[in-house]
Amino acid sequence: RARRVLDEIISAGSYTHSLGIPLVRESVCKYIARMDSVPEPKLDEIFLTEGASQGVHLLLSTLIVDKNDAIMIPIPQYPLYTASISLNGGSPAPYFLNESKGWQLDIEELERSYQESKQQGKNIKAIVIINPGNPTGSILNAETIAKILEFSVRNRIVVIADEVYRENVYKENTSFISFRKVLETLSQEVRDNCELASLHSVSKGLLGECGLRGGYLYLHNFNPLVVEQLVKLKSINLCSNSIGQLMVELMVNPPISGVSEETKTKFETEYKALYDSLKYRARLVTKELNSMRNIHCQE
């Protein structure tokens, strides 16, 4: 595995392709196909980024043209989105998650937010979905995701799916499902017309390598002319740091095939130990918060 990477790059200190090391992007394509049970993406649909944050900045700087352009964001939310929207001169269009339902998303609330923003003269360009939620930890089911995707096509807006916590699911009988996977199950009209941008990062999950700044942006069904502009923006920064790109390779291409049984077993053992440790700590924090007066924490 190491030789395969070394054969692809000159050195870790060299510039790479502006969209990222081709070999790593190929690994991302295979990872998406494997994890989401969907057709393998095209290489030019994958951008390697400085964490997921750079992907967010690229998208919003392309989508927002003036102050009337708005992006739908969840409340409670991750401050990156309001900051980036403000930096690019746009406006947030907040929709509120339902605390009484475990911070789930109600489609009726999306409709309210959308219509209210339109009445204020805003031009809704996209909707941001953080799943699993940050800071809420909520996890959307396939039915809700399908309704969001149909909502986006009906209103001709981009879906930005922030899925960086996809491995951090600790609740029993609950599992993560990606927007891309659900999209594949919907009608031809929705599949053909939904513009979906998916984000992932090495900063979360079981790697937690925040400082190495590695991630990817996957553009599905985007107009080639729009992708062309995103490529130009990405090229301004020359390339994402090469070490972060190599961390993405390790994240999406772990030692689960083409290696010795000893290596595979060691990886699986360490992976499970890390997951169990994070699960224990998540439950402990939830328990302690719920033991405090006037504080309630959802599972």
| H or E stretch at 52 | helix 51-63
pTM tops 0.85, yes or no: yes
Distance (Å) of CA 201 to CA 25, 227, 234: 13, 21, 17
Q: Residue 53, Cβ neighbours under 10 Å: how many? A: 19
**Secondary structure letter of residue 242 according to DSSP:** H
Q: Is the pLDDT at 230 greater than 80, yes or no?
A: yes
CA distance 200 to 75: 21
Q: What angle do CA 61, 248, 39 make, to 5 degrees?
A: 80
- The pairing of strands 123-130 and 158-162 is parallel
User: Over the stretch 8-28, which tens digit does the pLDDT of each residue have?
Assistant: 877 778 888 889 999 999 999
User: Over the stretch 35-89, which tens digit does the pLDDT of each residue have?
Assistant: 999 999 999 999 999 888 999 999 999 999 999 999 999 999 888 999 999 999 9
Residue 125: the pLDDT is: 96
Q: What angle do CA 181, 183, 184 make, to 5 degrees?
A: 70
Supply the DSSP string of 277-291, one letter for each residue: HHHHHHHHHHHHHHT
Domain ranges of the chain: 2-252, 257-299
| H or E stretch at 95 | strand 91-96
Q: Residue 147, Cβ neighbours under 10 Å: how many? A: 16
Residue 205: the pLDDT is: 83
Q: Are 179 and 129 in contact (CB under 8 A)?
A: yes
pLDDT band per the 50, 70, 90 thresholds, residue 1: confident
Q: What is the fold, at CATH topology level, of the domain defined by 2-252? A: Aspartate Aminotransferase; domain 2 (3.40.640)
User: Over the stretch 245-260, which tens digit does the pLDDT of each residue have?
Assistant: 999 998 998 887 767 8
CA distance 254 to 263: 10
User: Over the stretch 96-137, which tens digit does the pLDDT of each residue have?
Assistant: 999 888 889 999 999 999 999 999 999 999 999 999 999 888
Residue 42: the pLDDT is: 95
Q: Which residues contact 185 (CB under 8 A, 6 or more apart)?
A: 142, 146
| Both structure tokens of 275 | 């997951």
**Secondary structure letter of residue 40 according to DSSP:** P
